Amino acid sequence: MSTSTDLRAAIAEIREGVILPESRKRWLVEKLDEAYRQGALEKLYERIGAVPWWVISAGLHAALFLMITLLAVAAPPPPEETVVITAEVGRTPPEPYIPVPDPRPPIFGPADPSKYDPNVTMPVPTDDLKLNLANTPGDSDLVVLRGDPDNRSIDDDFAAKAGVVGVIGLDRSGGPSGCYGLRANRSARAKAIGRFRGQGSEPAVEAALQWLARHQEADGSWDPVKYEARNGSNTRYRVGCTALALLAFLGRGETHQSGPFAEGIRRAELWLIKQQKPNGGIFEQPAGGSSASAGYNHALAGLALAEAFGMTGPAGRSDHDLRLGAAAQKAADYSTGVHQAAYSGWRYDPREAADLSATGWFVMQLKSARLAGLRVDQRGFQGAMAFLDKVTDQDGRARYTADRAPSSAMTAVGLLCRQFMGARPDDPLAVRAAESLLKDLPGWQAAAAAAGDSGVGDKGFYYWYYGTLAMFQTGGEHWNRWNAAMKPVLVANQCRGGEKDGSLNDKDGSWDPQSWIDLHGGRVFTTAMGALTLEVYYRYLPINGR
């Protein structure tokens, strides 16, 4: 066999000493005698010759494979390619916050609590303080008509559930969080102002709150007729304007629990509660059309009480906090059970055919109440959406009533209501409505145009308030363009100077009424609405994720 021949040749080489090195050969020669070497070689020959050829082949291949494996393991791996990501993918990082110097002169401190007349008896309601907080944000049974009205943005470290006016946002433990947390924290508030291009707005807000504090009545209300409200009495204006002033303080994170404005806030809340009727309505006169404006007064008061209650959180609520909740719950029940027109919206008197202006305030009141954990009949939102669809055209422009022409102010109200009831930013009607608002940007002189009651010339604080909220929810370039026009209009035209003594001539921090709507509520209305509008930077966060 060839294998045997090969083996014999190998043995012959061993014999001849070819395989061993020279030193080993000399050692063998010296240490082993010829007979021993000959015997060992013969035995090796016999053993190798008896092994089948395939066994030897397998052994050699196994040894070769083992050597290759060891070499592969021992060799260092090639260097990995390193990829360095230097920027976030798919998003634009927020602009850094750059503080803006305070453009206003030093402001006097808040009103001394001693200004309140100690002889004015504040109400102590006897309502049942046990609340059944049936609703919590995120409950699956709260979805209304279209989309998810409780869809919230999680925007970097601004994780929030935005309340209707941004005050309340309850976390899963039930405590106040989100937007309210941002406002209560100065550094977070400053970051939000920078992110949403609100630099320079905070001093204006502070000045407005100072004016409101100086001009609050001893009983906790505000008297609009004293400060340029026209075309009506305080029966028509006082409840609603007091609620707006209270909302301005709440929007900046001020509460009745602590802070320099706490006593004024507490008195305002108690005054509103005192105006509540047994059926839950909050007004001085329950009916009388536009001369009493019961619907406006009630919706605004209910909104303010719901916001104030939502800010307290469920832990450690005092009797005052529970009174707020009880009053806000009764107000919500009144809105849907007494005042709302059947499967429609709201207006001045109970069950009266709806208009979009009053309906907007009621939608915000009910949304705020629900976010505070109060019970809200969902038929309220269903009727509001049915009415909204009737007064909105295919371009997203809205009317005061179905027989009126579309206006920018009503379009802003309609857009915000649609957003609060579930419309996404890419909703076709919402997009077209936002586009139409960009054609009518805020302007101080434009607001002064008086167009009577036609609803066409309502370009003042009412329009700026609703337009700002709606465009902020829209976001993107729509918001940037709107904000670039709106902010300087308010900051540059705020009144400066005066005695700051609470007199009728004291205007520092307030705004002069401009449009015909502004003149209805006077300086109390414009100052509260101006503060509310400028608080958008940290008070409102986008409802829909962007």
pLDDT of 289 > 70? The answer is: yes
Query: Whole-angstrom Cα distance, residue 331 to residue 199?
Result: 37
Pick 133 or 19 by higher pLDDT.
133
Of all residues in the chain, what percent are helix, strand and coil, respectively (each to 5)? Answer: 55, 0, 45
Residue 498 — φ and ψ, nearest 5°?
110, 180
Q: Note the Cα 206 to chain centre separation in Å.
A: 22
State the pLDDT at residue 88: 42
Question: What is the model's pLDDT at position 207?
Answer: 94
Give the per-residue pLDDT at 458.
72
Least confident of 236-250, 267-281, 493-507: 493-507
User: CA nearest 168: which of 30, 305, 7, 18?
Assistant: 305
The DSSP letter of residue 403 is T
Say what the pTM is: 0.73
How far is the C-alpha of 141 from the C-alpha of 174, rounded, in Å? 18
- Per the model's pLDDT, the better-predicted residue between 87 and 287 turns out to be 287
Give the architecture (CATH level 2) of 135-539.
Answer: Alpha/alpha barrel (1.50)
Mean pLDDT of 234-239: 92
Percent pLDDT > 90 in the chain is 46
Place 30 in a pLDDT band, splitting at 50, 70 and 90.
low
Which pLDDT belongs to residue 73?
54
Give me 68's structure tokens: 């290759």
C-alpha span between 265 and 229 (Å, rounded): 22
pLDDT at 259 over 90: no
Give the angle subtended at the CA of 78 by the CAs of 77 and 80, to the nearest 5°.
110
CB atoms within 10 A of CB 259: 15
Model confidence band, residue 129 (pLDDT cutoffs 50, 70, 90):
low
pLDDT over 50 at 126, yes or no: no
How far apart, in whole angstroms, are the C-alpha atoms of residue 522 and residue 238? 11
| Residue of 268, 218, 259, 267 whose CA lies nearest to 241 | 268
d(CA 107, CA 127): 40
> What are the φ/ψ torsions at residue 158 (nearest 5 degrees)?
-95, 65
Place 31 in a pLDDT band, splitting at 50, 70 and 90: low
Find residue 276's DSSP bridge partners: 282
Whole-angstrom distance, CA of residue 267 vs CA of residue 269: 5
More confident residue, 33 or 94: 33
Give the lowest-confidence range in 146-155, 285-294, 365-374. Answer: 146-155
CA distance 281 to 277: 5
Q: Which of 127-136, 195-204, 333-342, 445-454 has the highest mean pLDDT?
A: 333-342
pLDDT tens digits along 166-191? 433 333 233 343 444 444 556 666 77
In this predicted structure, what is the pLDDT of residue 208?
A: 96
Is the model more confident about 526 or about 87? 526
Q: Which residues pair with 170 in a beta bridge?
A: 176
pLDDT in tens, 459-503: 899 999 999 999 998 988 999 999 999 999 999 999 998 777 778
94 falls in which pLDDT band (50, 70, 90)?
very low
Q: Taking residues 314-338, report their average pLDDT.
A: 91
Per-residue model confidence (pLDDT) at position 145: 31
Is the per-residue pLDDT at 241 higher than 50? yes
Comparing CA positions, the residue from 508, 509, 530 lying closest to residue 447 is 530
**Exposed e or buried b per residue across 413-439, where buried means at least 16 C-beta atoms within 10 angstroms of its C-beta:** bbbbbbbbbbbbbebebbbbbbebbee
Section 95-106 average pLDDT: 47
Phi, psi of 392 (to 5 degrees): -115, 130
The fraction of the chain above a pLDDT of 70, given in percent, is 61
Q: Residue 187: what pLDDT?
A: 62
* Mean pLDDT, residues 251-258: 88
Q: Which of 65-69, 70-74, 344-348, 532-536 has the lowest mean pLDDT?
A: 70-74
Q: What are phi and psi of 99, to 5 degrees?
A: -60, 140
3-state SS string for 13-54: HHHHCCCCCHHHHHHHHHHCCHHHHHHHHHHHHHHHHHCCHH
How close are the terminal C-alpha atoms of the chain, in Å? 84
Per-residue confidence at 13, pLDDT binned at 50, 70, 90?
low
